Chains A and B, each alone.
Chain A
Amino acid sequence: MNPLQKLQAIFREYFDDPALVIGPETSPANLPQWDSVALVHIVLAIEEAYDLRFTMDEVAGIHCVADLLVILEARA
């Protein structure tokens, strides 16, 4: 799976919606269930899937899926 597909699997699992489709532009603005609690869960799930720890600054800078992809690329 490419990083976006992998993120999509994580989002689907957390939002319990197997048909959810996300793209780099997906953000709390167009995915209303994405609140601050959801972000905590998603960050934890990504950390587990990729076996890494986000820094606090990285977490603070996450506003959309593209931000996540940038971090994952930088960490690869």
Chain B
Amino acid sequence: MDAPADFLTTSRPGDLGPETSLWLFNQCGGEAKETTDALVELCRLHSGAEREFAMALLAKCESWDLMDNPVFQATFQAQRALLEKTDLGLFLSAQCSERWGDPAEAARSYQLLDREGVPSKDSVLLDLVRVLATGGRYEEACETLRRAASCTRDFGYLSRAARQLLRLEKHARRVCARTVRIGLLYPYTTDLWVPLLRLGLFREGIWAEFQVPPYGTHHQAILDPGSPFFAFDPEVVILASTWRELNLPPFSEDPAKAAFERIEALVEHWKVIQARIPARIIQHNFEVPALDPNGHLGEAMAEGRASVVRKINDLLWLQSQTHHVTILNFDQIASTYGKRSWADAGAWFSAKQYPAPSALPALVEGQVARIRAGLGLTKKVLVLDLDNTLWGGVIGEDGLMGIQIGPPSATGEAHLALQRYVGQLKKRGILLAVCSKNNETDARAPFLEHEGMHLRLDDFVAFKANWLDKPSNLRAMAMDLNLGLDSFVFLDDSPTERAFVRRELPQVAVPDIGSDPVRYVEILDSKGYFDADSLSPEDLERSKTYLNNAQRQAMRTSAGSLDDFLKGLEMVCEHGPIDDHVLPRVLQLLGKTNQFNLTSRRHGEAQLRRILADPAAWTHFFRLKDKFDDNGLVGIVIAVPSIDHPSTWELDSWLMSCRVIGRQLENFMFNTLLEAAKSRGIATLHGLFSPTSKNSLVEHHYQALGFIEAEGEPDGRRRFVLSTAEGVSRPAAFILDPR
């Protein structure tokens, strides 16, 4: 028989299984040079081997004491170029560089591996984060960590990512656009849960600080006004509960009374919290437990525990509206995950851990969606690839008759299901766009001529079919639509495109939908990107508005002067005090308007209601209609009396939706404000400009309206003053006031 080394040299890829190769490696390795030679051969034979195989090789080298052997290091370095031709070699090389104290070199190799973008290699992302952090490249480390956090729902992997996040805390906090203080009240263990929630929010660009009362003290935290919980002043309070605390017997003698009592206790907690702090409350509803000694009867009979739990959930939905509380649909999350695996009896008995650790990522995903919606950060745009995403096959090669969409092909049905789902999203205000590598005519053909297609060209507000790279197309799209890339979701079957977009545009959400169309809808749905807290009339009209923007743009080009253009728009502005009817939309705008926003104060519902209740405050909304469509509620001004000078109004908030910029609506708003101030005997208006990374557009807003700049704040906020007696109304003649 040949020597083991010869055996490796003469074999071809695929000839040897990993076990055999490891055995051969064991026979021929040990000496520095021979080991390196064998590694070169193994990389050739097992170029795409699993991480475990690589780890086994490294463990062998360690057991031979080679890692610190200078001869081994030298021979390895000499063969590095050859080794790095394969993924396995890149990984070995990265691991060795790291152990030999060269994080920059390790990062380079991991990055080359990452470029392949294959999901099974996703775990190198955490290795990459580690070496970037070791090398002091914190921003890149944070960005890589963000990608790592969105590539899987594996508990172990995410927990490791969460630990790295804590180590990067100082830097991670800086790259987040938002921070939020969260109070989490849960009667059981939260040690495994909180890190994952912090990570999930970090992925969304939100830095979370937590206040979690120690195990078993959540009642005291609510009932004691001096508790650290209230001192922390949480902006979001999560009331996490489970069916256990309902303390329901398997059969309740009086089910209506049983349900009512439980609801009463919950509402009492809400009231106590709301009376003390203006926080948004997220209340978990209750999961119908998987185990029930009465089985079928638990649900079949009104007295059964499952029946009563359902009744309680029904009442919760109702009460949540009255008390402006957000419900987290815990029962739905548990059912979708699968209730038999939702709980792990061992984890429960030994550590009071519930749900099972492996179920925590699903729960956290649901909480992130609720918090994101509460902050007005719900995604707005869904960008879709075409070939093998919206239809099966490649239109440029297979032709109109060759692509699969709809029955009888099963693949075609799966693609059609995605089109239907996406079509429903569009109906409730999510903008759809296409980004595809195709010739434009080819890409359009199925929408125009294929009978099986559910979506039509006018369902999309942007259509990019060309050969440019996708990140460039997405950037252009964001510019055209005047929307931030952080409101984009990108759906593509190609792992390479997904990896490319993730790397170039980390703010875009890129779900790993795999490449099997059967799973697209399920995966997209599970992410809750578009999960909103409420639906406003503007949402339902949004897609049309953006399409009409294109027509308006065309008219602007043809109209002679700006005046002609504005006049031709036939604008009408309805306005009035903010009340319950417009509240959801006002909260939405406060939460998400970034550009035309002077103070960017993100009032939550509770805070806003406090201002509305003050008779001396002036809170006003503006809607703009034109001949193309109803833009809906697009402007808000909130003025509150100054604490020291009742005849002064502080302009707490002034914002306008970016889609109506350049129509003189800000002048109209100013005129309305000035008139109201005078009629209420207000002598002075105080304006405030708080600069953010996105609102430089309104830097000169107050000067343009005749305000005088006063002394600013040390933190960079600028103050402006206007005496109402000297205020002059501004041109807004093309906007009709129906009053």
Instruction: Give A residues with C-beta under 8 Å from B.
Output: 1, 5, 8-9, 13-14, 16, 18-19, 36-37, 40-41, 44-45, 48, 53-56, 59-60
Say yes or no: B357 contacts A5, CB within 8 Å: no
Q: Which of B98, B126, B350, B357 lies in contact with A44, CB distance below 8 A?
A: B357
Say yes or no: B350 contacts A56, CB within 8 Å: yes
What is the chain B residue whose CB lies nearest that of A37? Answer: B191
Report Cα–Cα, A13/B164, bound state, in Å: 12
Say yes or no: A60 contacts B350, CB within 8 Å: yes
| Residues 525-544 (chain B) with a chain A CB within 8 angstroms | none
| Residues 556-590 (chain B) with a chain A CB within 8 angstroms | none
- The reply on B192 being an interface residue by CB < 8 A is yes
- The reply on B163 being an interface residue by CB < 8 A is yes
What is the chain A residue whose CB lies nearest that of B154? Answer: A48
Across the A-B interface, give the 4 residue pairs with the lowest CB-CB distance, nearest first.
A5-B59, A37-B191, A1-B56, A1-B59
Report Cα–Cα, A1/B346, bound state, in Å: 29
Q: Which of B95, B156, B160, B192 lies in contact with A37, CB distance below 8 A?
A: B192
Q: A16-B163, A16-B164, A18-B98 are in contact. Are A45 and B56 (CB under 8 A)?
A: no
| Residues 123-137 (chain B) with a chain A CB within 8 angstroms | 126, 130
In whole Å, how far is B563's beta carbon from the nearest beta carbon of chain A?
A: 64
- The reply on B447 being an interface residue by CB < 8 A is no
In whole Å, how far is A59's beta carbon from the nearest beta carbon of chain B?
A: 6
Residues of A within 8 A of B63 (CB): 5
Say yes or no: B191 contacts A44, CB within 8 Å: no
Q: A9-B59, A40-B353 are in contact. Are A18 and B95 (CB under 8 A)?
A: yes
Encoded as 1 (CB less than 8 Å from any A CB) or 0, chain B from 56 to 68 comes to 1001000100000
Say yes or no: A41 contacts B130, CB within 8 Å: no
Residues of B within 8 A of A9 (CB): 55, 59
Say yes or no: A45 contacts B351, CB within 8 Å: no
- The reply on B230 being an interface residue by CB < 8 A is no
Report Cα–Cα, A49/B239, bound state, in Å: 35
Say yes or no: A44 contacts B353, CB within 8 Å: no
Q: Which of A19, A44, A59 lies in contact with B156, CB distance below 8 A?
A: A44
In whole Å, how far is A47's beta carbon from the nearest beta carbon of chain B?
A: 10
In whole Å, how far is A26's beta carbon from the nearest beta carbon of chain B?
A: 16
Report Cα–Cα, A44/B158, bound state, in Å: 13
- The reply on B349 being an interface residue by CB < 8 A is yes
Q: A16-B163, A37-B191, A44-B156 are in contact. Are A59 and B346 (CB under 8 A)?
A: yes
Say yes or no: B350 contacts A14, CB within 8 Å: no
User: What DSSP secondary structure best describes chain B's contact surface?
Assistant: helix
| Residues 108-131 (chain B) with a chain A CB within 8 angstroms | 126, 130
Q: Which of B56, B160, B353, B358 lies in contact with A13, CB distance below 8 A?
A: B160
Report Cα–Cα, A7/B503, bound state, in Å: 33
Say yes or no: B349 contacts A56, CB within 8 Å: yes
- The reply on B546 being an interface residue by CB < 8 A is no
Report Cα–Cα, A45/B350, bound state, in Å: 17
- The reply on B500 being an interface residue by CB < 8 A is no
Residues of A within 8 A of B156 (CB): 41, 44-45, 48
Residues of A within 8 A of B126 (CB): 16
Considering only CB atoms and an 8 Å cut-off, how many residues of chain B contact the other chain?
A: 25
Say yes or no: A16 contacts B99, CB within 8 Å: no
In whole Å, how far is A38's beta carbon from the nearest beta carbon of chain B?
A: 10
Q: Which of A19, A45, A48, A59 lies in contact with B99, CB distance below 8 A?
A: A19
Residues of A within 8 A of B95 (CB): 18
Say yes or no: B160 contacts A18, CB within 8 Å: no
Residues of A within 8 A of B347 (CB): 40
Which of A14, A16, A48 has most chain B Cβ within 10 Å? A16
- The reply on B75 being an interface residue by CB < 8 A is no
In whole Å, how far is B496's beta carbon from the nearest beta carbon of chain A?
A: 27
Q: A16-B160, A16-B164, A45-B156 are in contact. Are A40 and B351 (CB under 8 A)?
A: yes
- The reply on B188 being an interface residue by CB < 8 A is no
Residues of A within 8 A of B164 (CB): 16
What is the chain B residue whose CB lies nearest that of A9? Answer: B55
In whole Å, how far is B123's beta carbon from the nearest beta carbon of chain A?
A: 8
Q: Which of A8, A16, A40, A59 lies in contact with B357, CB distance below 8 A?
A: A40
- The reply on B159 being an interface residue by CB < 8 A is yes
In whole Å, how far is A23's beta carbon from the nearest beta carbon of chain B?
A: 13
Residues of B within 8 A of A19 (CB): 99
Say yes or no: B59 contacts A18, CB within 8 Å: no
10 pairs, CB–CB < 8 Å, chain A vs chain B: A13-B160, A16-B163, A36-B191, A36-B351, A40-B347, A40-B357, A41-B159, A44-B156, A55-B346, A56-B349
Q: Which of B59, B130, B346, B358 lies in contact with A16, CB distance below 8 A?
A: B130
In whole Å, how far is B691's beta carbon from the nearest beta carbon of chain A?
A: 38
In whole Å, how far is B23's beta carbon from the nearest beta carbon of chain A?
A: 13
Residues of A within 8 A of B130 (CB): 16, 18
- The reply on B243 being an interface residue by CB < 8 A is no
In whole Å, how far is A11's beta carbon from the nearest beta carbon of chain B?
A: 12
Q: Which of B55, B98, B159, B358 lies in contact with A1, CB distance below 8 A?
A: B55
Which of A13, A36, A48, A54 has most chain B Cβ within 10 Å? A13
Say yes or no: B59 contacts A56, CB within 8 Å: no
Report Cα–Cα, A44/B357, bound state, in Å: 9
What is the chain B residue whose CB lies nearest that of A45? Answer: B156
Q: Which of A37, A45, A56 lies in contact with B346, CB distance below 8 A?
A: A56
Report Cα–Cα, A56/B99, bound state, in Å: 37
Report Cα–Cα, A58/B351, bound state, in Å: 14
Q: A9-B55, A18-B95 are in contact. Are A44 and B155 (CB under 8 A)?
A: yes
Residues of A within 8 A of B159 (CB): 41
Residues of A within 8 A of B56 (CB): 1, 5
Report Cα–Cα, A19/B346, bound state, in Å: 32
What is the chain B residue whose CB lies nearest that of A49? Answer: B52
Besides A5-B59, A9-B59, A16-B164, 6 more A-B contacts (Cβ < 8 Å) are A16-B130, A16-B160, A16-B163, A36-B351, A40-B353, A56-B350
What is the chain A residue whose CB lies nearest that of B195? Answer: A37
Say yes or no: A59 contacts B350, CB within 8 Å: yes
In whole Å, how far is B462's beta carbon from the nearest beta carbon of chain A?
A: 42
Residues of A within 8 A of B346 (CB): 53-56, 59
Report Cα–Cα, A53/B358, bound state, in Å: 14
Residues of B within 8 A of A16 (CB): 126, 130, 160, 163-164
Report Cα–Cα, A53/B353, bound state, in Å: 16
Q: Which of B99, B192, B358 lies in contact with A18, CB distance below 8 A?
A: B99
What is the chain B residue whose CB lies nearest that of A4? Answer: B59
Residues of A within 8 A of B349 (CB): 56
In whole Å, how far is B148's beta carbon from the nearest beta carbon of chain A?
A: 12
Report Cα–Cα, A56/B353, bound state, in Å: 13
In whole Å, how far is B509's beta carbon from the nearest beta carbon of chain A?
A: 26
Report Cα–Cα, A48/B191, bound state, in Å: 21
What is the chain A residue whose CB lies nearest that of B346? Answer: A56
What is the chain A residue whose CB lies nearest that of B55? Answer: A9
Encoded as 1 (CB less than 8 Å from any A CB) or 0, chain B from 141 to 162 comes to 0000000000000011001100
What is the chain A residue whose CB lies nearest that of B57? Answer: A1
In whole Å, how far is B397's beta carbon from the nearest beta carbon of chain A?
A: 41
Residues of B within 8 A of A60 (CB): 350
Report Cα–Cα, A1/B61, bound state, in Å: 11
Report Cα–Cα, A9/B358, bound state, in Å: 21
